[in-house]
Structure 1
Amino acid sequence: MWYSNLEYELAGGEPWFPAVPVGLPRSLPVSGWKEHQRYPQGRSLPPLDAAPVEPVVCQVVIPPTYQRLPILSRLTSRFGVTVNILGAALSARRRRGGEFVLALEGGPQQQASSLAYLKDLQVQFVPKRDIKATPRLLNEGESLAQKPVVLPRGCDRVRLQIHIPAHCHPQPVISNLVKDHDVAVTILSASLPSQGDRDGWFELELWGLPSRLEAAVAALNQSDCALWLAK
């Protein structure tokens, strides 16, 4: 898939879409997965574009104060864009901002609303630069074929460590969890070099209705990703 190259325009503050009215969402809630549900009651559906356009690629730094919030997950649940993570570096210690290369797929209004939302949260857009993330090392007894994860009955929140192999990069694995299963996903740590196709390592927190959470974890179990319950 071909991606547009708009990183420098975004970082320089230049307009990347024609001027159109964009409604900014209310502040992102600190807790409560119901606030993360797609198109909550009382809000109208986002306008449907005639046809999707080429993905918008941007490189962002998310401040440490936002790293426990499902910001990237919210782009899918609220605005309907598909978010493909092309590079990521986020330490679990949260001393520095998390840096991500994102491809936002959807219609022009969906893309514009998503970018406006990030800017409203004061997420920093930066020029394109390589992310040289360090891959996670396997612990004794772990395997890249490790699965399945089985959730306790009635579980509505789970933390997972997940390995996403390079050949899965065209598939927006994390965004699909939100879109297909209506769960919220917070990225707690991430390591995905942006120099070509590399394996990705993520620690995620998923929450939602138990039935939806079970379906999301079942989809991961059936994928080519390896996953572990985070300790």
Structure 2
Amino acid sequence: MTLSTTLNSTLSQIHIRIPQHYHRQPIVSRLISRYDLIINITCAFLEAHAKDDGWFNLEIQGVSRAVEAGLAYLQELNIEIVQLDIKSIAQENQEKSKILCNNHNFSDIIDDNDKKADSNVVEGQTTRAKFQVCIPQNYQSYPVIAGLVYCYGLTVNISGAVLDTNPENDGWFDLEVWGRRQQIVLGLRYLKELGLQIWL
């Protein structure tokens, strides 16, 4: 996976509801790792340990067939897609959706098989970290959380989230991440180098 690649052609804006029984599943993380999509969460509400459904507004960018496969995956899980807007985007408008990877030479530390995360990572490892991260308004148009998956090969579950549409309000996410210890260390360093507040 080339970190500098700008994905082409399609931007989907969707509103989805996450049933309570999926609150501990890394659904967004799987969309990124399985389908090579760039995903930015633009609005969200998910209460940890709540019985109510959570919901997310997502911007999904990638080649058309990958976006279609990702949407089909959500439908297979019976996740309700409340609103769907798909459009082609010009090359010059793709800049904001680039992943904010740092300059760590990650490929020297984690091989390609490890970066194909997902179920193999969750089943095969012993390292997990739980923390809360604040996403300030100046980062809300960038796929910060997606960078943990795309750049560092982590599997990420969002167990709680509050991010509203008011650009003046900071958002926060409760995250559970799985990976090798070195992956987690680099992922936390990535968030800190972006200047984000983290509570472990």
For Structure 1 versus Structure 2, the TM-score category normalised by the shorter chain is 0.7 to 0.9
Instruction: Provide the residue aligned with 1:228 in structure 2.
Output: 199
Q: Is there any run of 5+ residues in structure 1 with no aligned partner, and where?
A: 1-37, 39-50, 129-153
- The residue that corresponds to 1:45 in the other structure is none
TM-score (norm 2): 0.73
1:83 aligns with 2:39: yes
Q: Deviations over 1:159-215 (max 9, x none)?
A: 011101000112201111100000000001000002445311110001101111111
TM value normalised by structure 1: 0.64
Q: Measure, in 1, the Cα distance between the counterparts of 2:160 and 2:129.
A: 15
Aligned length: 155
Q: Is the 8 A contact 2:42 2:141 kept in 1?
A: no
Runs of 4+ aligned residues of structure 1 deviating over 3 Å after TM superposition are 195-198
Q: Deviations over 1:113-150 (max 9, x none)?
A: 0000001100011148xxxxxxxxxxxxxxxxxxxxxx
Correspondent of 2:129 among 148, 151, 158: 158
2:151 to 180, 183, 194: 180
RMSD of aligned alpha carbons: 1.9
Q: Distance in 2 between matches of 1:196 and 1:171?
A: 13
SS at match of 2:151: helix
* Distance (whole Å) between structure 2 residues aligned to residue 188 and residue 61 of structure 1: 14
Higher relative contact order, structure no. (Cα contacts within 8 Å, ≥ 6 residues apart): 2
Letter in 2 for 1:81: L
Cα distance in 2 between the residues matched to 1:204 and 1:59 = 20
**Identity of counterpart residues, as a percentage?**
32
One-letter amino acid matched to 2:178: W
Structure 1 position 105 matched with structure 2 position 76: no
Q: Point out the structure with the larger helix share.
A: 2
Give the SS at the match of 1:181. Answer: coil
- Indicate the SS of the match to 2:29: helix
User: For 1:69-218, what aligned pairs fall within 5 Å after superposition?
Assistant: 69-127=25-83, 156-196=127-167, 198-218=169-189
Give the strand-richer structure, 1 or 2: 2
